[in-house]
Amino acid sequence: MSPYFRNDCGDFIPANQDESDAFMETLGVETVYSHQLQLVKSAREIMGVREHLAAVLDNLSDDLVAEVRDFAEFLQQKQQQVNTPAYKDTGVSVVAATESPSSKKESSPVFLTGESGGKIPL
């Protein structure tokens, strides 16, 4: 194999082995079988949570991705509910059923309803 060096344009050019920037590169190919490999870290440990979720979503049908999206919106609304004072306008409407004081039933539940129509119990 002849020595090479890289010119200013990044191209490999044949060189004399006595030149200071000359190098030789050997390409080797090795066949490795699955029983010879040892897992050092799982993909879950290497990837961040968001990257792992993106990889999982790539393998789901559109219907299942839509369910994940709806659940993520539910979690987002729930987080906003926890992080936002009750008096501040959040774009989420509060719906409460009222009853008369003479009623002996327990009070009706209160929900947050989002744009998509999902309800979050308070």
- Cβ neighbours of residue 108 under 8 Å, at least 6 residues apart? 96, 97, 98, 99
Read off the tokens for 74: 């539910």
Q: What percent of the chain has pLDDT over 70?
A: 58
pLDDT digits (tens, 9 = 90+) for 9-58: 777 777 777 777 666 666 677 888 989 988 888 877 888 888 889 989 99
Per-residue pLDDT tens digits for 73-111: 999 999 988 887 654 555 555 554 444 444 444 556 666
User: What's the predicted TM-score (pTM) here?
Assistant: 0.37
Torsion of CA 57, 58, 61, 65, to 10 degrees: 30
| Virtual torsion, Cα 5, 10, 12, 18, nearest 10 deg | -10
Round the CA-based radius of gyration of the chain to a whole number and report it. Answer: 31
Please state, in angstroms and rounded to a whole number, the distance separating the CA atoms of residues 39 and 19: 42
- Residue 69, pLDDT above cutoff 80: yes
Contact call for residues 91 and 99 (beta carbons, < 8 A)? no
Asked if pLDDT for residue 59 goes beyond 90, the answer is yes
User: Domain coordinates of the chain in residue numbers?
Assistant: 38-121
